[in-house]
Structure 1
Amino acid sequence: MKKLIILLSLLMPMSVFAAGGNVHLDKANYDLTDKASLQNGAKLYMNYCLGCHQMQYQRYQRAFNDLDIPLELGQDNLQFTGEKPGDHIKNAMPAESAAAWFGAPPPDLTLVARVRGADWIYTYLRSFYADESRPFGVNNLVFPEVGMPHVLQELQGVPRKTLEQHMVDGQMVDRYVGLKSDGSGYMTPAEYDGAVLDLVNYLVYTGEPTRLESESIGRYVLLFLLVLLVLVYLLKKEYWRDVH
């Protein structure tokens, strides 16, 4: 019993980290077979995320090949500081400076989808809202007191909390009903949600680049085991026939 209690105490922080508290997480209906979505997600990541968040366990050329991005096109549009195609996806931000600016070095995002989950990322990127009390002027419903700016704000606009007045115990009180952009972004709400989903799709891919291949091989393995089961069963019957 003592060992079980210790094990549960170790697992509980991991579950909280993955779930992100009690905030409802929206479903991220990503599709790893959608190459156009993955390509757009890669473009968004390189333009809006890579400045702070490295992806040091992924190589440019691997991503180009997997996402059907021609090498020359990828180098011209997704590599900005003269890296070679075989280089890992890194940035030039010093860790010490990043810690001073943001309170902690921005984490590497190669495996973030496997750690946090696609639903968490999808909801998080759509949950920023204006908060003048914060250093970067924004806060986040999923990650309260977040230490990063809303880097996709030029796409979404400035999201603000929407409140409605309701009567409670004879008094009018404000109740939170959702977030609404001020319309200053380049995209409509539906377009922004689609862009975030593309970015999530790309992050899911980088977390496990061979996932589709592994799933395909897994189906063949299960089929082989099923056939083998039939053969072994027939062999067993033949072997024990004379005994019984």
Structure 2
Amino acid sequence: MLPTEPEILTMTKTLKQLALGLVAVLALAGNVAHAASEGIAWDKAPNKTNDLGALQNGAKLFVNYCLNCHSAAFMRYNRLTDIGLTEQQIKDNLLFATDKVGETMKAAIDPKQAKDWFGGNPPDLTVIARSRAGAGGSGADYLYTYLRTYYRDDTKASGWNNLAFPSVAMPHVLWELSGERKPLFDVKEEHGHKVQVFKGWQQVTPGTLSPLQYDQAMADLVGYMQWMGEPAQNTRVRVGVWVLMFLLMFTFIAWRLNASFWKDIK
């Protein structure tokens, strides 16, 4: 049975919508790829999710420097007992925005003020280390690179820019720790165009931490955000190892039982 004229028109309209949707998806993918190509290659972040001392230092940095503007609305303070802190230690050292250890980590800033200052509310950071993964590496790699590639740029409203996130709206809130640094570039010619290739940093003014100490502190902070995105990840890995060992042992036992059962049957 042939389709009627209204059915043909409906099918044509649907195909046009699908084509437009496909074009939009391809354009978005192109924009994402272009944005990713503007930044530098991501450095590999050290894995700190099993280091309780590093996680505790990362939690301290997160509360003191990130929680002023960013929330971690899916993380409760008392979950920090999983990284070796007692509730009393949490109350004494990490509770600035609330007085209840069972509360979630909410930003201290007023949302209206944040929108006026930054043009929008700063994103929630609970799962930021999981959501930022891409072709350049893991979300932890991105954050580790991002936090270490700020430089002074007086042409920007905040006075700062970032090599991993060009024209970023967020100011460098950790600049007192890192000091001010200037990126150094080599100019190379590729396909008839001159391009800048990042080659290193020049320290302009010192911070309270040396460059090596700052990198280690950022590794601790990123490790904490990576842990915060999935607090049970280490338990999951440990349980997974035991499950695989059990399955291997059970497979061996089942294989031997099968051989014993069929040994007298020809």
Which range, TM-score by smaller chain? 0.7 to 0.9
- Conserved in 2, the CA contact under 8 Å of 1:156 and 1:192? yes
Query: 1:161 pairs with 166, 175, 183, which one?
Result: 183
The corresponding residue for 2:243 is 221
- Conserved in 2, the CA contact under 8 Å of 1:20 and 1:142? no
The corresponding residue for 1:115 is 131
- Conserved in 1, the CA contact under 8 Å of 2:39 and 2:163? no
Unaligned residue ranges in structure 2 (runs of 5+): 1-18, 133-138, 189-194
CA distance 1:176–1:197, shift in 2 (3 Å): closer
Who wins on radius of gyration, i.e. which is larger? 2
CA distance 1:123–1:240, shift in 2 (3 Å): same
Unaligned residue ranges in structure 1 (runs of 5+): 167-172
Distance 1:75 1:240 in 2: 65
The corresponding residue for 1:145 is 167
- Aligned CA RMSD, in angstroms, stands at 3.2
1:136 and 2:158 equivalent? yes
Query: 2:91 pairs with 75, 86, 89, which one?
Result: 75
Q: Which secondary structure state, in structure 2, belongs to the residue aligned with residue 182 of structure 1? A: strand
Distance 1:138 1:150 in 2: 6
The corresponding residue for 1:26 is 43
The corresponding residue for 1:170 is none
Measured after TM superposition, the shift of residue 236 of structure 1 is: 3.2
Measured after TM superposition, the shift of residue 109 of structure 1 is: 0.6
Measured after TM superposition, the shift of residue 78 of structure 1 is: 0.8
Deviations along 1:175-204, one digit per CA (max 9) or x if unpaired, are 753223323310110110011011011111
Distance 1:131 1:183 in 2: 14
Greater alpha carbon shift after TM alignment, 174-183 vs 26-35: 174-183
The corresponding residue for 2:230 is 208
Q: Which secondary structure state, in structure 1, belongs to the residue aligned with residue 184 of structure 2? A: strand
CA distance 1:89–1:227, shift in 2 (3 Å): same
State the one-letter code of the partner of 1:127: T
| TM-score scaled by length of structure 2 | 0.77
Distance 2:30 2:122 in 1: 20
1:188 and 2:210 equivalent? yes
CA distance 1:228–1:183, shift in 2 (3 Å): same
- Conserved in 1, the CA contact under 8 Å of 2:58 and 2:222? yes
Q: Which secondary structure state, in structure 1, belongs to the residue aligned with residue 205 of structure 2? A: coil
- Conserved in 2, the CA contact under 8 Å of 1:127 and 1:179? no
Distance 1:151 1:124 in 2: 13
Deviations along 1:55-106, one digit per CA (max 9) or x if unpaired, are 111110111x112122222212111133301100112433333222212211
State the one-letter code of the partner of 1:140: N
| TM-score scaled by length of structure 1 | 0.84
The corresponding residue for 1:100 is 116
Count of aligned pairs between the two proteins: 234
Q: Which secondary structure state, in structure 2, belongs to the residue aligned with residue 202 of structure 1? A: helix
CA distance 1:22–1:217, shift in 2 (3 Å): same
- Conserved in 2, the CA contact under 8 Å of 1:111 and 1:207? yes
Distance 1:215 1:18 in 2: 34
